[in-house]
Amino acid sequence: MKQEKWQSLLGLANRAGKLVTGEELVVKEIQKNRAKLVLLAQDAGKNTKKSIIDKSAFYHVPVKLVSDRYTLGKSIGKEARVVVAVTDTGFSEKLQSELDQIQWG
């Protein structure tokens, strides 16, 4: 299966140290206005989804849903990841435009 462009971008952002993963850390980045974009796996738990979406909305951080936790984790060379925050404006803008072109199932 070919890696999507957004996944390669996410991998780059990760290697550049511009990502934070894990619900607690992501929420902290959102609150400190350092998160520019939040990627949330569609198979995240109901509470996690609500918490991340509500926090992001309150702090005006865009949230994009991605297919699932395994795809999200794999793109950054890790096991399953439910939520990732991008802390770099350049990466977040490129990721958003890539993700806007994808229709999820």
Which CATH class name applies to 5-100?
A: alpha beta
Give the model's pLDDT for residue 77: 95
Task: Profile the chain (105 residues) by mean pLDDT over runs of 10 residues.
Answer: 84 98 97 98 97 98 96 96 98 96 71
Give the model's pLDDT for residue 105: 54
| This prediction's pTM | 0.94
C-alpha 78: how far from chain center: 14
Angle at which helices 5-15 and 89-100 pack, to 10 degrees? Answer: 170
What are the structural domain ranges in the chain?
A: 5-100
